[in-house]
């Protein structure tokens, strides 16, 4: 099978589609949880936290469960699906893109998990959950710090993906993977100029 360099535009568009699908799935699961836990009780818990800084058991339990579900959806969408579909998420399937390792093979499951952690910080909330038991505000501060680092990583990766020579993001470099195309993708500078 022939592989071609995946251009930044294709990768960026695939990432946007994948993020949309991922957050749509999260929204469905979180809305279901809202109804299971009761919207009024959770709203009162949030208002109580905002006004007094006190967290209720209901609030913490809901937050822990949603964090685990969000991480589970992230693992399934960004690791399980690509691993079992030979390197393709839903968007990559439609755009004919594939994630491969340096030997042009399907990367290991662990590499998919690491890619998702580096680029999306999908599962870091779960790692931080024990902090909730001590102080919720510390948890939110740490999460905000991770979000900032994640934003920087996303920006640098997006910049790198649009490079001509080695269009790999930080998540690709750290896991020795790359995204390739199953169909040739013309370079902008290969297009003929019209005079």
Structural domain includes residue 190: no
Domain span including residue 149: 4-182
- DSSP state letters, 109-155: HHHHHHHHHHHH-TTHHHHHHHHHHH-HHHHHHHHHHHHHHHHHHHH
What would the pLDDT profile of 57-82 be if each residue is shown by its tens digit?
888 888 888 888 888 898 899 999 99
Strands of the sheet containing 4-5, edge to edge, are 4-5, 177-181, 97-101
CB 111 within 8 A of CB 38: no
Average pLDDT over residues 19-46: 90
Q: Indicate if the pLDDT at residue 143 is higher than 60.
A: yes
Structural domain includes residue 193: no
Q: How many domains does the chain have?
A: 1
CB 91 within 8 A of CB 22: no
Structural domain includes residue 171: yes
Structural domain includes residue 191: no
Q: 176-189 burial by CB neighbour count: b if 16+ within 10 A, else e?
A: ebbbbbbeebeeee
Structural domain includes residue 188: no
Predicted model pTM:
0.80
**Can you give the pLDDT at residue 14?**
93
What would the pLDDT profile of 94-133 be if each residue is shown by its tens digit?
999 999 998 999 999 999 999 888 776 656 666 666 666 6
Q: Indicate if the pLDDT at residue 25 is higher than 90.
A: yes
Structural domain includes residue 195: no
Structural domain includes residue 175: yes
């Amino acid at each position: 099978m022939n592989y071609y360099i995946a251009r930044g535009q294709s990768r960026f568009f695939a990432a946007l589609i994948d993020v949309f699908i991922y957050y749509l799935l999260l929204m469905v699961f979180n809305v279901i949880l809202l109804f299971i836990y009761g919207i009024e009780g959770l709203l009162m818990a949030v208002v109580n936290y905002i006004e007094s800084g006190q967290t209720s058991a209901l609030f913490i339990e809901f937050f822990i469960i949603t964090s685990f579900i969000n991480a589970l959806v992230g693992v399934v969408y960004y690791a399980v699906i690509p691993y079992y579909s030979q390197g393709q998420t839903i968007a990559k399937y439609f755009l004919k893109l594939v994630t491969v390792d340096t030997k042009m093979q399907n990367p290991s499951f662990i590499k998919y998990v690491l890619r998702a952690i580096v680029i999306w910080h999908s599962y870091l909330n779960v790692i931080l959950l024990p902090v909730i038991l001590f102080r919720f505000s510390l948890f939110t501060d740490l999460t905000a710090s991770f979000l900032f680092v994640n934003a920087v990583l996303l920006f640098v990766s997006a910049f790198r993906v649009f490079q001509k020579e080695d269009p790999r993001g930080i998540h690709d470099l750290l896991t020795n993977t790359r995204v390739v195309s199953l169909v040739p993708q013309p370079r902008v500078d290969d297009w003929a100029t019209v005079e």
